[in-house]
Amino acid sequence: MSTKQARDCWGLLGAIALIGCTSGGGSKDSASDTAGAADGGSADGADGSEGGADDGGGDGGGDGGNAYPEGPVAFTLTTTGDSALSLSFSEPDCPYRASGTSFRQTWRGDGHVFVLIVEVSRDFPGTPGTYGAAGTTRVRLQEEAGGSLTYYDSTLGDGVVEVTLDGFSVDDDRAWGSFSAGALGGSAGERVEIGPQPLPIWCPTLL
């Protein structure tokens, strides 16, 4: 083999070796890029998932915290003593003024035969709490127009009434709780007990 031929062979082998090295490096770089993309995509996906879960969970928890108790659909009040009545009530009404100093809950039933009224007066502060000081609370049970106008009032009976407002908010336009009372008296000296106690207070709106 001549010197020229030997030189050409060595040059060809060098070129082949160079091509092989270049090709291998490109594959390695490509593999690294692919792995990096996979790592980056996984991290981004995890971050996005966590953010969504946190946001959703926070909102749901907040809404649940503002839930109000379910109000009574209807209840039956009975009286014992000088008169035996069984009355159903299902229509609540709470005419409250934010500037006022009293709270009143009224209950009526089908036909509006009787109305049941519970009141807190004497500078009612407009906050949840238990009220029952003498002269500050009152319960009345009276027949509406069209009947014999039967009337019973705690101020004519024992004068004992305890009102518990578990919730009261003008901003949320809601109030709820319960009340109990001793004997109610009539205008002719009758006395009746009402039950079962405690009886509900429920204001789906404060008018």
One domain, residues 60 and 107: no
The beta-strand segments (E) located in the chain are: 75-81, 85-89, 91-93, 103-108, 114-120, 129-131, 137-143, 151-153, 161-169, 174-181, 184-186, 191-195, 199-203
pLDDT at 67: 63
Q: Which of 181, 177, 109, 187 is nearest to 150 (CA)?
A: 187
pLDDT at 70: 84
**Which of 50, 67, 84 is a domain's end point?**
67
Residue that wins the pLDDT comparison between 150 and 49: 150
Model pLDDT for residues 171-194, shown as the tens digit of each residue:
899 999 999 999 999 988 999 999
One domain, residues 126 and 151: yes
Residue that wins the pLDDT comparison between 22 and 197: 197
Between CA 94 and CA 46 the distance in angstroms is 51
What is the mean predicted confidence (pLDDT) over 138-150? 87
What is the mean predicted confidence (pLDDT) over 192-201? 96
Residue-range definition of the domain harbouring residue 51: 1-67
What is the mean predicted confidence (pLDDT) over 60-69? 47
One domain, residues 171 and 115: yes
**Which of 49, 67, 85 is a domain's end point?**
67
**Which of 34, 67, 100 is a domain's end point?**
67
One domain, residues 127 and 57: no
What is the mean predicted confidence (pLDDT) over 144-158? 89
Residue that wins the pLDDT comparison between 172 and 5: 172
Beta partners for 181?
Answer: 161
Residue that wins the pLDDT comparison between 109 and 62: 109
Domain count, the chain: 2
One domain, residues 49 and 127: no
One domain, residues 53 and 99: no
Model pLDDT for residues 66-119, shown as the tens digit of each residue:
467 888 889 999 999 999 999 999 999 998 887 778 999 999 998 889 999 999
Model pLDDT for residues 22-56, shown as the tens digit of each residue:
444 444 444 444 444 444 444 444 344 444 333 33
One domain, residues 13 and 111: no
pLDDT at 13: 41
One domain, residues 188 and 119: yes
pLDDT at 73: 80
One domain, residues 39 and 91: no
Which residue type does 119 have?
E
One domain, residues 57 and 128: no
One domain, residues 84 and 125: yes
One domain, residues 111 and 194: yes
